[in-house]
Amino acid sequence: MSRLREACEIDLYTGDRAIARSELIDRVREKQGLVCLLTDQIDRGVIDAAPSLRIIANIAVGYNNIDVEHARVRGIVVTNTPDVLTEATADFTWGLILAITRRIVEGDRLVRRGEWKGWALDFMLGSELRGKRLGIIGMGRIGQAVAARAPAFGMAVATSSDRPFTARLRPEGPDLPKIASVSFDELITTSHVLTIHVPLTGETTHLIDARVLARMRRSAYLVNTSRGPVVDEAALGWALREGLIAGAALDVYEREPEVHRDLLGLENVILAPHLASATIETRTAMADLAATNVLRVLAGDQPLTPVNL
């Protein structure tokens, strides 16, 4: 904010919910730059309401909330915040993997309910990761950062992604482990933990549906830190209830902040409130990158992280 304030006049929305579409349309009219969040729908109507707009800077790596193509047609640059959130998101993904396979959240709930009767040999047994297969759907930066952490937990990594990935994400980072390249069907039927790291597009909407869930191992866990609509939540509730998979850990939902009611009553699912990038360091870096993009475009320079140039 302070960097933007030095160079621009700011109209700051301070509500704690997403701005109403009518208010957004009203306030964006004369603006040259728009900094928005993944909860703001920047559709054709919003874009057309702002004839002077030159940049839409999303504070998120995902930009499915923006009509990027229409912005391109109108000559408006759209930017996102990749890289700066990769490590935080990969850490959180592993937090979810450990928490669901070792029943940490379920155990916490039990203790708080006063139901813990003491240590027992067969009490709340989870599942070990060592020697198991981690299936990664989506091998972009975050998928690769998740893969890079797998050797620490003794997991073998597989993916169905055919995009080439780098041997090392950061110069100082670890080398990627050996990653088996398999078909999507082999990935979903053989993985013990399946973690999703694809952007939300027409193709990835409900990529994980009832058919896929029914083909997964009964002992498998599903983890989603990408976008909610990639998983059919009603189908997931059914699969968890019927024991078709062992558990799921979600950070994202089809209609945030709503969570499908079938999931709310289940013990074998962790429901996190879209927190994967939520560290002080990462959220500060995301905001800073968005500000840099705005300042560069308004000064006539190339933005650092455009998605539609």
Q: Is 27 a catalytic residue?
A: no
Q: According to CB under 6 A, which one of 62, 126, 151, 306 is a site residue for ligand DGY?
A: 62
Q: According to CB under 6 A, which one of 38, 55, 90, 297 is a site residue for ligand DGY?
A: 38
- Candidates 141, 192, 227, 260; catalytic one: 227
Residue 275 CB, nearest approach to ligand DGY (Å): 9
Q: Which stretch binds ligand DGY (CB under 6 A): 58-66, 121-129, 168-176, 180-188?
A: 58-66
Q: According to CB under 6 A, which one of 85, 198, 231, 289 is a site residue for ligand DGY?
A: 85
Q: Is 113 a catalytic residue?
A: no
The 129-158 site mask, x for binding ligand DGY (CB under 6 A), equals ------------------------------
Residue 252 CB, nearest approach to ligand DGY (Å): 7
* Interatomic CA distance for residues 24 and 37, integer angstroms: 12
Nearer to ligand DGY, 89 or 191 (CB): 89
Task: Give the DSSP per-residue string, 143-201.
Answer: HHHHHHHGGGGT-EEEE---S---SBSSTTSPBP--EEE--HHHHHHH-SEEEE-----
- Candidates 23, 256, 258, 281; catalytic one: 256
94-132 CB burial, b ≥16 within 10 A, e <16: bbbbebbbbbbbbeeebeeeeeeeeeeeeeeebbebeeb
Q: Is 9 a catalytic residue?
A: no
Report CA-CA distances (Å) from 230 to 48, 61, 74, 90, 115.
29, 16, 29, 18, 36
3-state helix, strand, coil in the chain (%, to 5): 35, 15, 50
Could you tell me the end-to-end alpha-carbon distance of the chain, in angstroms, rounded to an integer?
Answer: 25
Q: According to CB under 6 A, which one of 34, 35, 61, 295 is a site residue for ligand DGY?
A: 61
Nearer to ligand DGY, 245 or 252 (CB): 252
Point out which residues bind ligand DGY (CB under 6 A): 38, 60-62, 85, 277
